[in-house]
């Protein structure tokens, strides 16, 4: 297993739409393990393959308190969303130290394949529903800050670019 580098907003690769996984094979299983290790190390509760510059429809999530209930979503698809909306404060491993409120469906149903290639369906609410919607946005090339006002998004973009420039200078 290996830690994978996480792309940071405003990297244009974060806007790449992920392609479906054609076959759940050893390469995909290794990707899942590496993504899980990266997510836990970050630490985060979800990670989409797009965030590690792999543009295939793969997501790992663990919203458990104990951090030992890994959920693998390969070729995930939301099949139903409630009309009821809820506002949650979200953060993202690709947008460090940034949290803001986003309105999403309160309840969802989704289907996906696990690391064995078996299809399953699951209903979700609360943090899991938010996380699934957030990570599937990544697979569709969307970052959560795009739900925010243009002003907020530009402030975040400027701050992160400045941090990246400072990190490059420090590394030279």
Mind telling me the catalytic residues? 135
β strands within the chain, DSSP E: 46-48, 58-61, 71-81, 85-92, 95-105, 107-113, 119-125
- Contact indicator for 63, 128 with CB cutoff of 8 Å: yes
Smallest CA-to-CA distance from 40 within 82, 76, 88, 4 is with 4
Alpha carbons 36 and 109: distance in angstroms, whole number: 23
Q: What is the DSSP letter of 56?
A: B
- Residue ranges for the known binding site for Fe cation are 92, 134, 138
Q: What is the DSSP letter of 19?
A: B
- Residue located via tokens 């309160």: 106
Written as six digits, the tokens of 25 are 């094979």
């Amino acid at each position: 297993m290996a830690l994978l580098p996480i792309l940071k907003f405003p990297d244009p690769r974060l806007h790449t739409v992920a392609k479906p996984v054609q076959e759940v094979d050893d390469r995909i299983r290794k990707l899942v393990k590496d993504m899980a290790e990266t997510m836990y190390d970050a630490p985060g509760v979800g990670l989409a393959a797009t965030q590690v510059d792999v543009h295939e429809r793969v997501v790992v999530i663990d919203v458990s308190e104990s951090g030992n209930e890994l959920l693998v979503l390969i070729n995930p698809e939301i099949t139903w969303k409630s009309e009821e909306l809820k506002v949650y404060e979200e953060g993202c491993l690709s947008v460090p130290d940034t949290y803001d409120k986003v309105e999403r469906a309160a309840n969802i149903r989704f289907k996906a394949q696990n690391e064995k290639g078996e299809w399953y369906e699951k209903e979700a609410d609360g943090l899991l529903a938010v996380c699934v919607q957030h990570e599937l946005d990544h697979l569709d090339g969307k970052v959560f800050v795009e739900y925010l006002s243009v002003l907020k998004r530009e402030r975040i973009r400027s701050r992160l670019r400045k941090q990246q420039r400072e990190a490059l200078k420090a590394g030279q």
